[in-house]
Amino acid sequence: MNWLSDFVRPKIKKITTKEIADNLWTKCPQCGQMLFTKELEKNSFVCSACDHHLRFPVLKRFAMLFDNAEYKLIALPQLKEDPLNFKDSKKYSDRLHSYRKATGSQDAIRIAQGAIGGINCVVAAFDFGFMGGSMGTVVGEGIVKAAEIATKGNYPLITISASGGARMQEGILSLMQMARTAAAVNLVKEKGLPFISVLTDPTTGGVSASFAMLGDIHIAEKGCVIGFAGARVIEQTIREKLPIGFQRAEYLREHGMVDIVVHRQEMRDTLIRVISILTHQKPQIDTLAIENK
């Protein structure tokens, strides 16, 4: 019998406190403030110290936007997951499997259908946690499917962008999604249905260069980055210092690229007002102040 391992160690384990969870606190990337994660979630992932808008999980965003947090998730089309048999430091197929396990998402977009202010809508939202929200063939097919559902049901289409751009592992097939998604949202607009583009941090690359900037109305979250190339790349190319706040939502609003900049907690009410105006429908009053879940 080993006295230290059989008696002393179990005694110590009984009197010591449980290990602290590694996700108990979240550090604000803007001001560095340590935020209690549960309080951060209650505040819609907005920093209570500096009001910085952190990345918002897709399902929590859906719960915030849809009436009574009720919505129907639409399955993404099933496509060949590695059309080019791409491999860098890791096989693309293995990379996809690891991100699916980590995020619970099939790919970098999720589609939901439900009522916002009593008005039925289709919402396609990017998941930045899945490979930086990069747009590959599945994401492109997702936008096309969301547009098809909107046109068949005469629903407004809302896209919520959060992406670094095209997915390099799919090469030219990824770049083709820019044209496909642009054509898809144009079908919605040609039928006279509203297409509202919500821009969140970040909206860049091929996403901003395609459907994300083709909305009837562009609504951006406060302080989010919107652009094509990164600010550092632009500065190195033109060899000039960019203005303060360049590529931020407020800067783009001042220069006519964005129509409305809103705080995240005001996004739902803003969408309800915009949708009701564009569809000529009166929103249900009892759904205007649903508590965020």
Task: Give yes or no for residue 52 having a pLDDT over 70.
Answer: yes
| pLDDT value at residue 286 | 55
For the stretch 167-186, pLDDT in tens is 999 999 999 999 999 999 99
| pLDDT value at residue 284 | 80
| pLDDT value at residue 21 | 61
**Can you tell me whether residue 160 is helix, strand or coil?**
strand
CA angle 284, 285, 291 (to 5 degrees): 105
Spatial CB neighbours of 18, under 8 Å, sequence gap ≥ 6: none
Q: Across all residues in the chain, what is the average pLDDT?
A: 91
Band of residue 240 on the pLDDT scale cut at 50, 70, 90: very high
Give this prediction's pTM: 0.89
The C-alpha atoms of residue 209 and residue 199 are separated, in whole angstroms, by 12
Among 70, 159, 150, residue whose Cα is nearest residue 108: 159
Band of residue 23 on the pLDDT scale cut at 50, 70, 90: confident
| pLDDT value at residue 82 | 92
Among 24, 28, 19, 18, residue whose Cα is nearest residue 36: 24
Band of residue 41 on the pLDDT scale cut at 50, 70, 90: very high
The C-alpha atoms of residue 98 and residue 214 are separated, in whole angstroms, by 33
Beta strands in the chain (DSSP E): 25-27, 34-36, 72-74, 109-116, 119-126, 157-163, 195-203, 217-221, 260-262
For the stretch 70-97, pLDDT in tens is 999 999 999 988 999 999 999 999 999 9
